């Protein structure tokens, strides 16, 4: 007997009719055609079927499909961006951590979950995170090297973004402090002041602060009053879309 199950996979919502006894892996592979997650031992031993359920790695071959309803499932197809590998996938390609490729999707998902909760894992932490994933080809050393390389690159991107945000805040502060003070004050252009609020500041004794509040001050704004809002730098996130063929084997 079949029933409709609603699943959110890689950010997209799907409703699919599946037999009630199916596992999450069967729904992914045979119900939705997402064959990146591999069907290996079918008893939770090899880790080739690993996917993330609410960012926690689970063995899809022994997870009833109904347990995924209401959660967010991430498969290997959701790691890469349009036409580009994720930093983790790129590191696997460069270090030779993917050989026959059968176990690779599950290892990628376990490693991805690790980097989400620990952006700078130790070698031992990587070993622990991948303990449930078996590989007959690589001897594991290249896999550990790949995860370490990806972590280093993600950390470098984060530091670069933080540095860029600090430069933007400094630039905004310099622009604010250079505003003239006089009978008809020039209100600094800031991200925090709405255009209609700026237009309403018509008299010399009225001026808006960076939060959009109009103040009365015959002398005009002081250098400490005329300040610019700083926009916090964003964090790198994985884009969820289809992965390139290298990490989406149809086996």
3 state SS of 176 = helix
Report helix, strand and coil shares of the chain as percent, to nearest 5.
35, 15, 50
User: What are the DSSP calls for 180-236, one per residue?
Assistant: --SSSPPPP--TTS-HHHHHH--STTEEE-TTS-EEE-TT---TTTS----PPPP--
DSSP 73: E
Reference 7, options 78, 79, 67; nearest CA is 67
Give CA torsion, residues 20, 23, 88, 140, to 10 deg: 180
Q: Which helix (H) or strand (E) holds 3?
A: strand 2-9
Sketch out the chain's domains with CATH numbers.
1-78 (3.10.20.30), 79-175 (1.10.150.120)
Note the pLDDT of residue 179. Answer: 54
Counting Cα atoms < 13 Å in the Cβ hemisphere of 58 gives 21
Distance between CA atoms of 172 and 134, rounded to whole angstroms? Answer: 52
Q: What pTM does this model have?
A: 0.67
3 state SS of 170 = helix
Note the pLDDT of residue 175. Answer: 58
Q: How many residues does the chain have?
A: 251
Note the pLDDT of residue 174. Answer: 62
52, β-bridge pairs: 57, 74
DSSP 103: S
Residues in CB range of 150: below 8 A, 6 or more apart: 87, 88, 90, 91, 111, 115
Distance between CA atoms of 119 and 181, rounded to whole angstroms? Answer: 47
Note the pLDDT of residue 199. Answer: 34
The backbone torsions φ and ψ at residue 7, rounded to the nearest 5 degrees and listed phi first, read -125, 140
Note the pLDDT of residue 42. Answer: 95
Note the pLDDT of residue 177. Answer: 54
Q: What is the pLDDT along the chain (251 residues), one digit of tens a residue?
A: 899 999 999 999 999 999 999 999 999 999 999 999 999 999 999 999 999 999 999 999 999 999 999 999 999 999 998 889 999 999 999 999 998 999 999 999 999 999 999 999 999 999 999 999 999 998 999 999 999 999 999 999 989 888 877 666 666 666 555 554 444 443 333 333 333 333 333 334 444 444 455 444 444 444 434 333 433 444 333 333 334 444 444 45
């Amino acid at each position: 007997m079949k029933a409709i199950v609603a699943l959110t996979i890689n950010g997209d919502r799907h409703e699919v009719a599946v037999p009630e006894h199916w596992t999450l892996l069967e729904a992914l592979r045979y119900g939705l055609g997402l064959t990146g997650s591999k069907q290996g031992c079918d008893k939770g031993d090899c880790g080739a079927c690993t996917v993330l359920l609410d960012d926690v790695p689970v063995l899809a071959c022994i997870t009833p499909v109904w347990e995924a309803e209401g959660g967010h499932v991430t498969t290997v197809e959701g790691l890469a961006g349009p036409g580009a590998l994720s930093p983790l996938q790129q590191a696997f390609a460069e270090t030779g951590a993917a050989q026959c490729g059968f176990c690779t999707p599950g290892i990628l998902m376990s490693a991805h979950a690790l980097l989400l909760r620990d952006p700078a894992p130790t070698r031992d932490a990587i070993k622990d995170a991948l303990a449930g994933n078996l590989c007959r080809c690589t001897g594991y050393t290249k896999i550990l090297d790949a995860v370490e390389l990806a972590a280093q690159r993600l950390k470098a991107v984060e530091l670069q973004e933080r540095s860029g945000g600090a430069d933007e805040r400094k630039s905004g502060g310099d622009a604010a402090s250079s505003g003239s003070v006089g009978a008809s004050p020039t209100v600094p252009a800031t991200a925090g002041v709405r255009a209609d609020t700026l237009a309403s500041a018509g008299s010399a004794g009225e001026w808006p602060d960076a939060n959009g509040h109009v103040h009365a001050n015959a002398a005009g704004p002081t250098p400490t009053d005329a300040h610019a809002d700083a926009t916090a730098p964003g964090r790198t996130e994985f884009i969820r879309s289809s992965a390139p063929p290298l990490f989406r084997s149809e086996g």
